[in-house]
Amino acid sequence: MRYKISANVIKRLPRYLRRLTLMERQGVERTSSGDLGERMGLTASQIRQDFNCFGGFGQQGYGYRVCDLKNGISSVLGLERTLTAVVIGAGNLGRALMANFNFAECGFELIAAFDTDPRLVGTELHGTKILDAAALEEYLSSHRVDAAVLTLPKRHAREAALTACRWGVRGIWNFTGIDIDADLGDTVVENVHLSDSLLTMGYYLRGANKEDT
Amino acid sequence: MRYKISANVIKRLPRYLRRLTLMERQGVERTSSGDLGERMGLTASQIRQDFNCFGGFGQQGYGYRVCDLKNGISSVLGLERTLTAVVIGAGNLGRALMANFNFAECGFELIAAFDTDPRLVGTELHGTKILDAAALEEYLSSHRVDAAVLTLPKRHAREAALTACRWGVRGIWNFTGIDIDADLGDTVVENVHLSDSLLTMGYYLRGANKEDT
DNA sequence: TAGATTGTTAATCGATTAACAATC
DNA sequence: TAGATTGTTAATCGATTAACAATC
């Protein structure tokens, strides 16, 4: 992290990783900025610029070994170090993430989930225990938790974020739909606003239809 | 849609809408680019530039009426016209969306869901019937469906997208984690890559920790 | 009217693209 | 060596910010 890398570049890294994983699975061993650019709809220039933020993963005259490039990007994203996460709110969405989302692939280990519903407390889903939300603070005080996944009702979101933050949680993956812009210090908040995504799609959809008429 | 509005601007619109809805609820009737900028962490200039892509919603010397501004942005996003959507894949994630996500607020009506699981077929969730996936094409041929929500397993994603597209669905809200870059013509694809979001957060998290040591 | 704040034009900044020398 | 393709510097393009005249 010599210079500050622009957020645009960072946001492209997961996409590179995804594409390279796919290529590796397809048996592609070697690529070039031109080839990769064509596959991903980016210019060769941009790809080389992006990679060179991290020192470059290629070889002049040859290109990039898919495997090395993938490892390089994984390493930039820090995937060799696993962080811990807990789910706060084991409703439909929380359980959907517990059951379907591959935390490990993103460098996280899901170590617990919390909910207030007595029917859920004590059960286990996909290897993760659901604990009583009342025991959250005690849990946070006795375990190192790097990130909290907020999948609880909106109205409790702020409070949960502050609590987590107070007990040393440094990352908040926020699915509640509200913007958490409280004074969380240097805690990293990643807001997942599904409605933004659908609204944006709607804009283009309606625009496209308009042109038809 | 005189000139092409940049995607950056469009992506900010839902956030404006969200904030204005909040302000309205808090009883704020009037705002200015300066005030709104402070609340949202944007410059007053950018806010005025953004709004003026659509002709401006304000009044010199006064500012903006929260209600008018909100309506203006709603209208730009086309929220007065409701589009129809179906969920394809009623697993955890599909059901989480059916139960918790406010489609109406985004200008969509969820008119059906599809799944292959016989235990689910015929049931109803939050007012939406879950139908047999085998009947999907027939349904699409006899109903106007504007958008398909893909919440089925990765391996069926491409096929489902192509089917939907073939029957006139113009928008794909894709939760499957693969990139749908097939030849879908002018169909709008909105990929929701949750892993991108978590990977990005992980990058900053690990970076932040590094600085500590 | 005077003050405020927009709408809009001009200046700056950053990100993307193009070009090319280095080198495998 | 000759060909290819990177790493990197320079040029271009677009987005953000600043400035200011218009006007409520």
Is-contact B149 B94, C-beta < 8 A?
Answer: yes
Per-position DSSP letters for B10-62, written without gaps between them: HHHHHHHHHHHHHHHHTT--EE-HHHHHHHHT--HHHHHHHHHTTT---BTTT
The rounded distance, in Å, linking the Cα atoms of A162 and A185 is 10
- Does A170 contact B93 at a Cβ distance shorter than 8 Å? no
Q: Give the model's pLDDT for residue A2.
A: 43
Residue B56 beta carbon within 7 A of nucleic strand C: yes
Structure tokens given for B91: 């697993």
- Does B83 contact A170 at a Cβ distance shorter than 8 Å? no
Q: Give the model's pLDDT for residue A208.
A: 63
Taking residue A117's Cβ as centre, other Cβ atoms within 10 Å add up to 13
Q: Does A213 touch chain B (CB under 8 A)?
A: no
Q: Give the model's pLDDT for residue A55.
A: 87
Instruction: Render pLDDT for A179-203 as a digit per residue (tens, 0 to 9).
Output: 887 677 889 999 999 999 999 999 9
Q: Give the model's pLDDT for residue B213.
A: 34
Q: Give the model's pLDDT for residue B182.
A: 67
- Confidence category of residue A3, pLDDT binned at 50, 70, 90: low
The shortest C-alpha distance from A99 to chain B (Å) reads 8
Q: Give the model's pLDDT for residue A117.
A: 97
pLDDT averaged over every residue in chain B? 93
Instruction: Render pLDDT for A92-147 as a digit per residue (tens, 0 to 9).
Output: 899 999 998 999 999 999 999 999 999 999 999 999 999 999 999 999 999 999 99
Residue A62 beta carbon within 7 A of nucleic strand D: yes
- Confidence category of residue B185, pLDDT binned at 50, 70, 90: confident
| Residue with nearest Cα to nucleotide C4 C1' | B61
Instruction: Render pLDDT for B125-135 as a digit per residue (tens, 0 to 9).
Output: 999 999 999 99
- Does A203 contact B105 at a Cβ distance shorter than 8 Å? no
Is residue A1 predicted with pLDDT exceeding 80?
A: no
Is residue A60 predicted with pLDDT exceeding 50?
A: yes
- Confidence category of residue B56, pLDDT binned at 50, 70, 90: confident
Restricting to B residues 136-195, those with a Cβ less than 8 Å away from any Cβ of A are 146-147, 170-171, 173, 179, 181, 186, 188, 190, 192-195
Nearest CA in chain A to B8: A200
Q: Give the model's pLDDT for residue A184.
A: 79
| Residue with nearest Cα to nucleotide C17 C1' | A45
Cα Rg, chain A, nearest whole Å:
21
Q: Does A77 touch chain B (CB under 8 A)?
A: yes
Is residue B2 predicted with pLDDT exceeding 90?
A: no
Restricting to A residues 102-131, those with a Cβ less than 8 Å away from any Cβ of B are 102-103, 105-108
| Cβ-Cβ contacts under 8 Å for A30 (sequence gap 6 or more) | A62, A63, A64, A65, A66
Average pLDDT on A69-92 reads: 96
Is-contact A95 B92, C-beta < 8 A?
Answer: yes
Is residue B211 predicted with pLDDT exceeding 50?
A: no
Which nt sits closest to A34, CA to C1'? D5
Which nt sits closest to A47, CA to C1'? C16
Is residue A9 predicted with pLDDT exceeding 60?
A: yes
Restricting to A residues 85-104, those with a Cβ less than 8 Å away from any Cβ of B are 91-93, 95-97, 99-103
Can you list the domains of chain B with their CATH numbers?
7-76 (1.10.10.10), 83-195 (3.40.50.720)
Of B83, B193, B202, the CB nearest to A78: B202
Q: Give the model's pLDDT for residue A46.
A: 98
